């Protein structure tokens, strides 16, 4: 019994018995989704009004009938129950819906004998399965351009399911927290928070979980992010409960972790309720779709060169000369991870470490990273019982007490300090801080050199940078290694950081490492190293590289999500893991409103965009656009493209427009960033922007009277704007342009899109698609499209289709079928049909007769072809006729006459600039020279024919020419070259010969044509 599976979490997807089903229209998908989710019968009138609200009733019902027919055909089974008035799913059918499964898994938790807000171990499995099913929002990315009623229904379904997901994630957090599995709890808590970035209970939950798992810095950072988001979006401060928890964690006085509860029985219900109560206070105190990996979650791969350089730089500090090591790169490139690995290495060498970091929201807090780091270092040494006070003079300690007043309590007899406005006060203060820092190192130091690590220095306050510069200028006095990380950026802080680095460079004490993204080979190594039992890695590395573009943070987030079952490797669509979404969201929150609006417009344009289209589509002035772009570049969200290289036939292939003026191009720093911005843009605004972009591109084409390269983009934007007639028109133009450049696969995609958008020239497009499949060697598809075109043609147009069907069957080796179609084509033309068309049919029929060894019949037809072609004075049909007469003369060993006819054919083809006939004449002429013993001349002609066939894109003839060339080279003793061409021929035959079992074997040689 067949099984039908419908997946509506994420882009809609259908499978029958495990195989994907393609449904031609969005309305059919919408209809099936509505019937499946509501799970009841609906009247035809109600469905017609839902899906076609702008139609009158007769037209709406008629369209519904056609849609039901298309859906039934695509499903290919008795899945729909349809009568004259109602439509529904067939009762008892073997049907599965992910939304139903999601709801059933959540509902099963209500049967465990506890309140709905409580948890038990039995809840863990169904909750896990439920959230695993939720790949993305309900029907994500799907909409109907002309049915607001359906869009409203879809919106409310998605909203309700998101709320259910939030509840399920919250309860999963409680489940795993009760088992003291804080890493997994954090995974679900971050996914929960991703659903609503303003939900304070989720922030409190993460703060508590990070604290319990020993990640105090991450806990405090969650509070800072919460404060920033609330201020940015609502203009309010966090609730008192959130601030109170922050203060408690900051002072290491947070609530203790819950007692692990591994199993619950009837005798432990009371314990369960106590645990649930404490955890519930935490949850109303969990977010995102992936776990926060620890620094050692995955092996450090792809940084061998940087690692070696860092070790050498650190070793150079042993000779009493300090060193600055800078790790620079974009967000998520792995700077902190590399630094932490290096710190672990140094710790094993007994190096004294001072670790601190800067935060984005603390750029106005003077000396913030040093205050935090010094206090932490003092607390650690106090816990270890180390008296650092003996390592520093009292007057220097007094200077440090300006920044750390608690030093007066530890050392009450400190001498007074001079006023801050006295001469040299700042130098004394900086030297006091430096001596205090060195004292903390000296008190513990065992290794030759200590390390001061400051993470995210791009967010350092101005005062901290002043002190850091002071330290750098005095590195020659002490074996101190300054390890700094900062993001590649163009802010004012970056200018100061590079000044600081230049100072160290001049002293020969700087090592700067610019971290690059990982390449495909390195990603593959990481996947192999991180693979867990049961994880299918076939193609996973390639998929991960495409999704992440080699950004290490994204790689680890995706890998963690996969290993935790949050992403299915076999799914075509992957939602963003929480860590990826968090990073991108935090970067977006830093730019102003105008820049965000420009970024939304850019996201709708695509990964790459040009200045003029961005300005026109956004509606902003030139000055506003320039200013916003500068801000976006400074924040590393977009980059100027200095050299815009053509990647496909359809891309803009120059930085100059058609007036010779330079066009400025830009690119998103990462495709996932563009995706996030696009998805965050409302549907209404997306449609508006798509329309504006299409109109801007059309204006560009008209202005310069050239620009078919952009026709595909125009079509896409019109389609997304809901203007299908214009989309169909430009898809057709894009297909014609691709066809002219021999870009057949792109042309196929455009012509199919034109059909789907409702282009009126259905027969013409089907015929053209048939032509393309013929050239690509996919003959079954060619026959299907030609037959469809034939049903919409008559007269001369029908004769052309029948002729082409004959050619396809001839290529397949079906000589009798080919002759049938040639006869039918001639019959459709009649005696009054055009002479040149009849001549071409006779020439091709002659070839079929020749292949059937009916040489007399073949010669008669070739002569008829020549006679008709001469009467028509048509050079193309003349070239074909001479070509065929040359083949027949050669087969009769009349090489002189064969040479005459084939040279005639070649001359005519060259005058016509017809690549196909030229290649045929050259190939057949080469066979004549081969027969006469002129092998080298035959090789030269065959090479020329092969070049033409590759250019023209005729896969079958290309394979035949490789085969012929292999024979000729073998005859000349060039065995290595012969084998190379033979292998190429076999490879192409394998690509296009998927149906070789039904094709006559000799056709694959195709020695002559």
At 354, which CATH number? 3.40.50.300
How far does CA 209 lie from the centroid of its chain? 32
Task: Classify residue 756: in a domain, yes or no.
Answer: no
Task: Classify residue 867: in a domain, yes or no.
Answer: no
- Decide which of 979 and 476 is more confident: 979
585 three-state secondary structure: helix
CA angle 764, 767, 772 (to 5 degrees): 125
H or E element that contains 640 = strand 638-640
Domain C-terminal end among 691, 711, 731: 731
Q: Tell me, yes or no, whether 564 and 637 share the same domain.
A: no
Q: Where would I find the H helices in 711-794?
A: 711-721, 724-740, 744-756, 762-776, 779-790
d(CA 462, CA 460): 7
User: Which residue's entry shows tokens 């061998």?
Assistant: 304
Task: Classify residue 674: in a domain, yes or no.
Answer: yes
Q: What is the pLDDT of residues 772-790, one digit of tens each?
A: 999 988 888 999 999 999 9
Q: What is the number of domains present in the chain? A: 5
For position 999, what pLDDT does the model report?
Answer: 46
Domain C-terminal end among 697, 731, 765: 731
**Under a CB-based contact definition with an 8 Å cutoff, are residues 410 and 436 in contact?**
no
Q: Tell me, yes or no, whether 18 and 128 share the same domain.
A: yes
Q: What is the pLDDT of residues 353-377, one digit of tens each?
A: 888 888 776 777 788 889 888 887 8
> Which residue spans within 533-628 are E strands per DSSP?
608-610
* Residue 297: band (very low, low, confident or very high) from pLDDT cuts 50, 70, 90: low
Average pLDDT over residues 95-110: 88
Q: Tell me, yes or no, whether 334 and 460 share the same domain.
A: yes
CATH (domain of 697): 1.10.10
Task: Classify residue 948: in a domain, yes or no.
Answer: yes
* Residue 640: band (very low, low, confident or very high) from pLDDT cuts 50, 70, 90: confident
CATH (domain of 77): 1.10.10.10
- Decide which of 655 and 661 is more confident: 661
Task: Classify residue 788: in a domain, yes or no.
Answer: no
Task: Classify residue 1000: in a domain, yes or no.
Answer: yes
Q: Tell me, yes or no, whether 542 and 626 share the same domain.
A: no
Length of the chain: 1009
Q: Tell me, yes or no, whether 640 and 524 share the same domain.
A: no
13-27, 249-263, 645-659: least confident range: 645-659
For position 701, what pLDDT does the model report?
Answer: 80
User: Which residues are within 8 A (CB) of 276 and not within 5 positions of it... i.e. 6 or more apart?
Assistant: 117, 118, 119, 174, 178
d(CA 104, CA 867): 77
HEC sequence for 268-299: HHHHHHHHHHHHHHHHCCCEECCCCCCCCCCC
**Under a CB-based contact definition with an 8 Å cutoff, are residues 208 and 585 in contact?**
no
> For residue 319, what are its two tokens?
């000779």
Tell me the pTM: 0.59
Q: Tell me, yes or no, whether 89 and 48 share the same domain.
A: yes
d(CA 198, CA 949): 61
Give the domain range for residue 633: 591-731
Q: Is 733 left (phi over 0), alpha (psi -120 to 50) or beta?
A: alpha
Q: Tell me, yes or no, whether 702 and 719 share the same domain.
A: yes
* Residue 221: band (very low, low, confident or very high) from pLDDT cuts 50, 70, 90: confident
Q: What do you get for the CA distance between the two ends of the chain, in Å?
A: 49
For position 447, what pLDDT does the model report?
Answer: 66
Q: What is the pLDDT of residues 43-71, one digit of tens each?
A: 998 899 889 888 888 888 888 998 998 88
Q: What is the pLDDT of residues 185-216, one digit of tens each?
A: 998 999 999 888 888 889 999 999 988 888 88
914 three-state secondary structure: coil
Q: Tell me, yes or no, whether 471 and 614 share the same domain.
A: no
Q: Tell me, yes or no, whether 574 and 601 share the same domain.
A: no
Q: What is the pLDDT of residues 580-593, one digit of tens each?
A: 887 788 788 878 88
Q: Tell me, yes or no, whether 924 and 944 share the same domain.
A: yes
For position 113, what pLDDT does the model report?
Answer: 67
Task: Classify residue 926: in a domain, yes or no.
Answer: yes
Task: Classify residue 951: in a domain, yes or no.
Answer: yes
Domain C-terminal end among 560, 584, 608: 584
> For residue 649, what are its two tokens?
């036939």
β-pairing verdict for 638-640 and 665-668: antiparallel
When the pLDDT of each residue in the chain is averaged and rounded to a whole number, the result is 84
CA angle 817, 820, 824 (to 5 degrees): 140
H or E element that contains 563 = helix 552-563
For position 383, what pLDDT does the model report?
Answer: 75
Q: Tell me, yes or no, whether 566 and 677 share the same domain.
A: no
CATH (domain of 985): 1.25.40.10
Q: Tell me, yes or no, whether 640 and 683 share the same domain.
A: yes
């Amino acid at each position: 019994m067949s099984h039908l599976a419908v997946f509506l979490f994420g882009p809609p997807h259908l499978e029958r018995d495990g195989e994907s089903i393609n449904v031609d229209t969005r309305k059919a998908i919408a209809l099936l989704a509505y019937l499946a989710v509501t799970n009841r019968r609906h009247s035809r009138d109600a469905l017609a009004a839902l899906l076609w609200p702008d139609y009158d009733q007769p037209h709406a019902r008629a369209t519904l009938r056609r849609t039901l027919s298309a859906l039934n055909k695509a499903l290919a089974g008795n899945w729909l129950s349809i009568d004259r008035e109602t439509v529904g799913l067939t009762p008892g059918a073997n049907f599965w819906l992910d939304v139903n499964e999601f709801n059933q898994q959540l509902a099963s938790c209500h049967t465990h004998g506890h309140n709905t807000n409580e948890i038990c171990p039995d809840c863990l499995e169904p909750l896990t399965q439920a959230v695993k099913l939720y790949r993305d929002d309900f029907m994500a990315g799907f909409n109907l351009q002309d049915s607001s009623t359906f869009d409203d229904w879809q919106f409310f379904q998605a909203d309700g399911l998101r709320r259910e997901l939030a509840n399920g994630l919250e309860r999963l957090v409680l489940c795993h927290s009760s088992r003291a599995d804080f890493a997994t709890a954090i995974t679900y808590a971050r996914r929960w928070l991703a659903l609503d970035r303003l939900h304070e209970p989720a922030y409190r939950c993460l703060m508590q979980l990070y604290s319990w798992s020993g990640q105090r810095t991450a806990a405090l950072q969650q509070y800072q992010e919460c404060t920033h988001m609330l201020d940015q979006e609502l203009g309010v401060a966090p609730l008192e409960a959130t601030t109170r928890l922050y203060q408690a964690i900051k002072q290491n006085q947070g609530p203790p972790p819950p007692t692990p509860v591994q199993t619950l029985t009837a005798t432990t219900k009371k314990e369960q309720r106590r645990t649930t109560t404490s955890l519930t206070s935490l949850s109303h105190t969990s977010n995102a779709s992936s776990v926060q990996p620890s620094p050692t979650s995955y092996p450090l791969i792809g940084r061998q060169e940087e690692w070696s350089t860092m070790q050498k730089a650190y070793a150079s500090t042993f000779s009493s000369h300090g060193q600055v090591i800078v790790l620079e790169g974009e967000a998520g490139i792995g700077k902190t991870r590399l630094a932490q690995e290096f710190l672990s290495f140094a710790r094993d060498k007994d190096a004294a470490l001072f670790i601190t970091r800067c935060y984005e929201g603390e750029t106005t807090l003077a000396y913030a990273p040093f205050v935090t780091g010094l206090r932490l270092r003092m607390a650690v040494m106090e816990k270890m019982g180390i008296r650092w006070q003996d390592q520093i003079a009292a007057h220097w300690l007094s200077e440090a007490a300006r920044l750390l007043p608690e030093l007066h309590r530890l050392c009450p007899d400190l001498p007074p300090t001079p006023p801050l406005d006295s001469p040299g006060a700042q130098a004394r203060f900086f030297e006091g801080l430096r001596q205090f820092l060195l004292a903390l190192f000296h008190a513990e130091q065992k290794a030759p050199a200590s390390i001061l690590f400051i993470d995210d220095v791009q967010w350092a306050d101005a005062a901290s940078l002043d002190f850091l510069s002071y330290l750098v200028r005095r590195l020659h006095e002490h074996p101190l290694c300054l390890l700094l990380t900062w993001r590649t950026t163009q802010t004012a802080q970056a200018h100061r950081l590079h000044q600081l680095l230049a100072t160290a460079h001049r002293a020969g004490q700087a090592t700067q490492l610019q971290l690059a993204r990982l390449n495909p080979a390195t990603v593959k190594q990481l996947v192999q190293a991180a693979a867990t039992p049961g994880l299918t890695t076939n193609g996973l590395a390639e998929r991960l590289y495409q999704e992440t573009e080699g950004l290490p943070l994204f790689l680890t987030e995706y890998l963690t999500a996969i290993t935790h079952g949050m992403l299915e490797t076999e799914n075509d669509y992957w939602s963003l893991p929480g860590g990826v979404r968090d990073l991108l969201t935090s970067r977006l929150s830093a730019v102003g409103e105008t820049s965000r609006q420009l970024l939304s417009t850019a996201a709708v344009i695509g990964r790459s965009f040009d200045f003029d289209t961005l300005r026109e589509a956004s509606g902003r002035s030139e000055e506003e656009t320039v200013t916003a772009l500068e801000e976006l570049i400074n924040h590393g969200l977009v980059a100027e493209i200095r050299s815009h290289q053509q990647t496909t036939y359809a891309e803009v292939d120059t930085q100059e427009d058609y007036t010779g003026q330079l066009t400025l191009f830009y690119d998103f720093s990462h495709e996932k960033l563009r995706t996030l911005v696009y998805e965050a843009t409302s549907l209404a605004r997306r449609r508006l922007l798509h329309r504006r972009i299409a109109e801007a591109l059309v204006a560009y084409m008209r202005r310069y009277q050239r620009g078919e390269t952009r026709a595909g983009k125009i079509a896409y934007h019109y389609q997304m704007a809901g203007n299908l007639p214009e989309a169909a028109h430009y898809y057709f133009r894009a297909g014609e342009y691709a066809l002219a450049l021999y870009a057949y696969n792109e042309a196929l995609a455009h012509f199919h899109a034109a059909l789907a958008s409702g282009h009126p020239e259905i027969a013409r497009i089907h015929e053209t698609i048939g032509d393309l499949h013929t050239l690509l060697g996919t003959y079954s598809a060619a026959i299907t499209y030609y037959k469809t075109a034939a049903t919409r043609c008559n007269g001369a147009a029908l004769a052309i289709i029948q002729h082409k069907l004959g050619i396809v069957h001839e290529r397949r080796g079906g000589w009798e079928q080919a002759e049938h179609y040639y006869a039918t084509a001639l019959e459709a033309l009649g005696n009054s049909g055009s002479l040149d068309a009849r001549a071409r049919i006779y020439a091709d029929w002659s070839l079929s007769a020749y292949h059937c060894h009916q040489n007399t019949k073949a010669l008669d037809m070739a002569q008829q072809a020549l006679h008709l072609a001469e009467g028509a004075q048509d050079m193309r049909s003349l070239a074909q006729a001479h070509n065929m007469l040359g083949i027949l003369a050669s087969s009769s060993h009349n090489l002189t006459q064969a040479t005459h006819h084939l040279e005639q054919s070649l001359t005519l083809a060259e005058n016509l600039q017809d690549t196909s006939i030229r290649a045929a004449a050259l190939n057949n002429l080469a066979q004549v020279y081969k027969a006469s013993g002129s092998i080298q001349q035959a090789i030269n002609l065959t090479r020329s024919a092969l070049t033409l066939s590759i250019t023209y894109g005729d896969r079958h003839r290309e394979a035949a020419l490789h085969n012929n060339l292999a024979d000729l080279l073998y005859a000349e003793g060039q065995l290595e070259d012969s084998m190379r061409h033979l292998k190429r021929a076999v490879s192409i035959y394998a690509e296009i010969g998927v149906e070789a079992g039904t094709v006559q074997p000799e056709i694959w040689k195709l020695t002559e044509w």
